[in-house]
Amino acid sequence: MAQPLVWQPARGDVVAGDTIRFAESVFGGSYRRPRYRGSRTIEAEIARDSYGVDKQQHTFTLRVISSSGLDALEAGKIIRRKGRNVYRGQPERLLWSDESERDIVAAEKHRRGDTARAARDDRRVVISDRFFSDRW
């Protein structure tokens, strides 16, 4: 008999390889005057994640498994979502068959995040040094 799917709260930490389920708001109208139309639930596999160089915006590339709700997405579609938007939707994830493998992937993700934040902090120091050296 097949094992039942076990969803657990992701608690703000999802990694490449996770299968997640989260809700997101759907808006219509124009970019300047968006109107809330409803919500949809997306179940997807995280194909990859990345950090933006300038602002450390965490971005996920997702492969949709299923979707329900308003303007449901088709299965197999590749979408991108900012981490802040995924985490806002209170994501849940399926347990891996070997959670120790997931721990390795999570540690690598956290290392990349630490590196990106350190680079940002270094840029901020250089910018503030330039600003204050011109004033004194």
From the list 58, 68, 75, the residue with the least C-alpha distance to 22 is: 68
- Please write the tens of the pLDDT for every residue from 56-99: 688 999 999 999 999 999 999 999 999 999 999 899 999 988 88
CA–CA gap between residue 64 and residue 93 (Å, rounded)? 14
Strands (E), the chain: 7-9, 19-29, 34-51, 58-69, 78-82, 92-94
Q: Look at the alpha carbons of 57, 69, 39, 12 in this order and tell me if their dihedral is positive or negative.
A: negative
Confirm whether pTM is higher than 0.95: no
The structure tokens 């270094």 sit at 122
**pLDDT recorded at residue 108:** 86
Going by the DSSP 8-state scheme, the letter that residue 89 receives in this structure is: T
